[in-house]
Amino acid sequence: MNNSSQAQQATVPIVITPEALLEHWQGHRRLTRRLIEAFPEDKLFSYSVGGMRPFSELVMEFLGMAVPGITGVVTGNWQKVDEMPHHSRKNVPTTKKELLGRWDEATEEINALWPQIPSHRFQENDKAFGQWDGPVYFFIFYWIDNEIHHRGQAYVYLRSLGIEPPAFWDRT
Amino acid sequence: MNNSSQAQQATVPIVITPEALLEHWQGHRRLTRRLIEAFPEDKLFSYSVGGMRPFSELVMEFLGMAVPGITGVVTGNWQKVDEMPHHSRKNVPTTKKELLGRWDEATEEINALWPQIPSHRFQENDKAFGQWDGPVYFFIFYWIDNEIHHRGQAYVYLRSLGIEPPAFWDRT
């Protein structure tokens, strides 16, 4: 790190640390896991409101962004968009158990990759998945926000099935 | 600021600056505004799926957290929970135009308040609205996330009404 970037860091307030952002994301991911568990097996793969995708397909989108995304953040090498599992539709889980297994694998991989993110990367510009230009923090926030957004959709699916969803505020 | 907190700041990577977090939130708020506009007037105040609240009530919740929340962040003085408009149900808008007017007022107020947040506040612990303990950054993220979460619900409402919602990725 050169002196000018050190000087910049000394004057910018700390909004959130990398460690806290990981915990923030994993807290959301624990909630998403509870949503997966709350769905009846068949509804997870088939139920829809308003012609939108079943929750299992949304979960595959989250998984397609998470580990491949953080790998891109760490290495600067990005999987191409058409290689993302929810686009290629290869190796798609067909049971809740298998989907939860994939989720838990991703949890461990994210935890392993995150501390390898070079300090300067959050503020660096890159092209996510070879397609989207922006600063790296923006990509990470996008993946988290996209999960929150589509999970909100799954809350409606559960309510319309007469199932009480897990509390939004509980991230334990 | 004392020397030890300066030293801490010099070694913690910048994930996101306060200015970028404001832009991130206002980008989400611009999208939420487009969702309000996309609802037919009557459906905004009445339409529900699965017994959930109409979108207008969710928007009042966002407004009840936003300016009162940032005021608490800036000053350390918090409105009590039962004084929040979506709890007291006082002065609730009854037209889309009035709701959008409230939204735009809050946009300006947030922009005016945000630069007044003392640098140390993001990492400081406080009790939001006299009730929730945690670091200030966590509260701010919670308000943004809560808006994304419930707005995702409104996407389902629009789709089930046969209305194409605004694109999630567009924050212009």
**From the CB of residue B20, how many other CB atoms can be counted at a distance below 10 Å?**
17
- For A95, the token pair is 């049971």
Inter-chain contact B122–A15, Cβ cutoff 8 Å?
A: yes
Contacts of B119 in chain A (CB under 8 A): 13
Residuewise pLDDT in 10s, chain B (172 residues): 444 454 455 578 999 999 999 999 999 999 999 999 999 999 999 999 999 999 999 999 999 999 999 999 999 999 887 777 666 677 899 999 999 999 999 999 999 999 999 999 999 999 999 999 999 999 999 999 999 999 999 999 999 999 999 999 999 9
**From the CB of residue A111, how many other CB atoms can be counted at a distance below 10 Å?**
12
pLDDT given at position B90? 74
Among the listed residues B139, B146, B19, the one whose alpha carbon sits nearest the alpha carbon of residue B79: B139
Question: Is the model's pLDDT at A4 over the cut of 70?
Answer: no
Inter-chain contact B50–A9, Cβ cutoff 8 Å?
A: no
**From the CB of residue B91, how many other CB atoms can be counted at a distance below 10 Å?**
9
pLDDT given at position B82? 78
- Indicate the pLDDT class of residue A73, thresholds 50, 70 and 90: very high
d(CA A98, CA B95): 47
Inter-chain contact B15–A17, Cβ cutoff 8 Å?
A: yes
Mutate to test the interface with B, among A14, A19, A73, A122 (most CBs of B within 10 A): A14
Percent of chain A with pLDDT over 70: 91
pLDDT given at position A1? 44
Instruction: Compute the average pLDDT of residues A122-130.
Output: 97
Inter-chain contact B50–A151, Cβ cutoff 8 Å?
A: no
d(CA B16, CA A141): 10
pLDDT given at position B3? 46
Question: Is the model's pLDDT at A10 over the cut of 80?
Answer: no
pLDDT given at position A6? 46
Inter-chain contact B151–A156, Cβ cutoff 8 Å?
A: no
pTM: 0.93
What does the radius of gyration of chain A's CA atoms come to, in whole angstroms? Answer: 17
d(CA A1, CA A14): 18
Cross-chain CB nearest to A156 (options B20, B28, B156): B156
| Coil, helix or strand at residue A47 | coil
- Residues composing chain A: 172
Instruction: Compute the average pLDDT of residues A64-75.
Output: 97
Amino acid at A121: R
User: Which of the 8 DSSP states describes residue A51?
Assistant: T
- Dump pLDDT digits (tens) for A82-115: 777 666 677 899 999 999 999 999 999 999 999 9
pLDDT given at position B42? 97
Contacts of A14 in chain B (CB under 8 A): 8-9, 12, 14, 122-123
Ordered DSSP codes for A108-148: HHHHHHGGGS-GGGGG-EEEETTTEEEEHHHHHHHHHHHHH
Question: Is the model's pLDDT at A7 over the cut of 90?
Answer: no
Instruction: Compute the average pLDDT of residues A16-33.
Output: 98
Torsion of CA A42, A47, A53, A59, to 10 degrees: -40
Mean pLDDT lowest for which of A25-29, A149-153, B79-83?
Answer: B79-83
Contacts of B142 in chain A (CB under 8 A): 169
Inter-chain contact B49–A49, Cβ cutoff 8 Å?
A: yes
Measured in angstroms, the CA of B145 and the nearest CA of chain A are apart by: 7
Phi, psi dihedrals of residue A141, rounded to the nearest 5°: -60, -35
Contacts of B120 in chain A (CB under 8 A): 13
> Using an 8 Å Cβ cutoff, are B24 and B144 in contact?
yes
Measured in angstroms, the CA of B146 and the nearest CA of chain A are apart by: 8
Ordered DSSP codes for B88-117: H--S---SHHHHHHHHHHHHHHHHHHGGGS
Tell me the CA distances in angstroms from B34 to A87, A111, A135, A164, B165, one per residue in order: 28, 36, 25, 29, 9
Mutate to test the interface with A, among B4, B14, B19, B133 (most CBs of A within 10 A): B14
Angle between helices A3-11 and B3-11 (to 10 degrees): 120
d(CA B161, CA B158): 5
Inter-chain contact B149–A150, Cβ cutoff 8 Å?
A: no
